[in-house]
Chain A
């Protein structure tokens, strides 16, 4: 019979309980996110690029470097952003970053493009905690391909969420820009049949910040050239001919 009066038995059972709790923690999703966030392995959180000031984020072949042509960065803002991102990925309190943030989060459902999670937000100024449902999203990229004569390349495809065909720019959900030196060339070729020589981020927006974590980068693609038809790389698409429009 276990008794609190017997220090040996109590200490052993506490050790076993602590050991089991540690095993449970190490096998949990939170521990995995923690390790991925801090060890830099393939992170569950998106690796967003360092967005340069507008007009300076050339990421085409002409730049060739993850740093912009002018090499200007706001290092303080980048470090704060990285800290908040790691803390958020690990489910930790990022109050040290100097702003309010989520204390903890729990994933409800993990999908291919997005996941639904429940996060407890603490507002230090108001000294209260609120629970928010957030759809986590790795981020997306939209490409605005511009021909030399000023025309813009659009695609038309069926969107199940809208239950109809839509005209839209080339976009890739769940396709984060890993670095500025790796623009979505393959996506553009796959969906339009055109290769762009130069990409530039000109807009960085949160499309639905109320409940969706998605961060969207809109890129300007210039220097378009028709790619030779390759059925392995291109989807079932019909490229637009390069002819002057009326």
Chain B
């Protein structure tokens, strides 16, 4: 097991390409991007 930090763009790309396939992670990350994080902060 190892860990790594990804920025939002990398995570979106991982979800789009099917590299990130864990449903709970996809749900949590997309919810966070859509409702909790501000776009000015990350993009």
A156 contact set on B, CB distance < 8 A: 1-4
- What DSSP secondary structure best describes chain B's contact surface? helix
Name the one of A147, A166, A171, A202 contacting B5, with C-beta atoms under 8 angstroms: A147
A-B pair count, CB < 8 Å, reads 101
B36 touches A151 (CB 8 A): no
**Given A171-B24, A207-B24, also A153-B5 (CB < 8 A):** yes
A218 touches B24 (CB 8 A): yes
> How far apart are the CA atoms of A152 and B41 in the complex, in Å?
14
> How far apart are the CA atoms of A151 and B14 in the complex, in Å?
14
A218 contact set on B, CB distance < 8 A: 24, 27-28, 31
A203 contact set on B, CB distance < 8 A: 27-28, 31
Considering the complex, which residues of chain A in the window 128-168 have a beta carbon less than 8 Å from any beta carbon of chain B?
Answer: 142, 144, 146-147, 149-157, 162, 166-168
Name the one of A149, A167, A238 contacting B14, with C-beta atoms under 8 angstroms: A167
A151 touches B24 (CB 8 A): no
Return B11 CB to nearest CB of chain A, in Å. Answer: 6
- In this complex, which of A154, A166, A236, A242 has the most chain B Cβ atoms within 10 angstroms of its Cβ? A154
- In this complex, which of A144, A207, A239 has the most chain B Cβ atoms within 10 angstroms of its Cβ? A144
Tell yes or no: A245 within 8 A of B by CB: yes
Return B16 CB to nearest CB of chain A, in Å. Answer: 14
Interface size class on chain B is 20 to 34
B42 touches A237 (CB 8 A): no
B5 touches A155 (CB 8 A): no
A166 touches B21 (CB 8 A): yes
Tell yes or no: A121 within 8 A of B by CB: no
Tell yes or no: A29 within 8 A of B by CB: no
Per-residue A-contact encoding for B1-23, CB less than 8 Å = 1, 0 else: 11111111011001000011111
Considering the complex, which residues of chain A in the window 204-221 have a beta carbon less than 8 Å from any beta carbon of chain B?
Answer: 205, 207, 216, 218, 220
A146 contact set on B, CB distance < 8 A: 32
B3 touches A237 (CB 8 A): yes
Task: Report B's interface with A, CB cutoff 8 A.
Answer: 1-8, 10-11, 14, 19-25, 27-29, 31-32, 35-37, 41-42
Beyond A142-B24, A150-B7, A154-B4, 6 additional pairs, beta carbon < 8 A: A142-B25, A156-B3, A168-B25, A216-B24, A238-B2, A239-B3
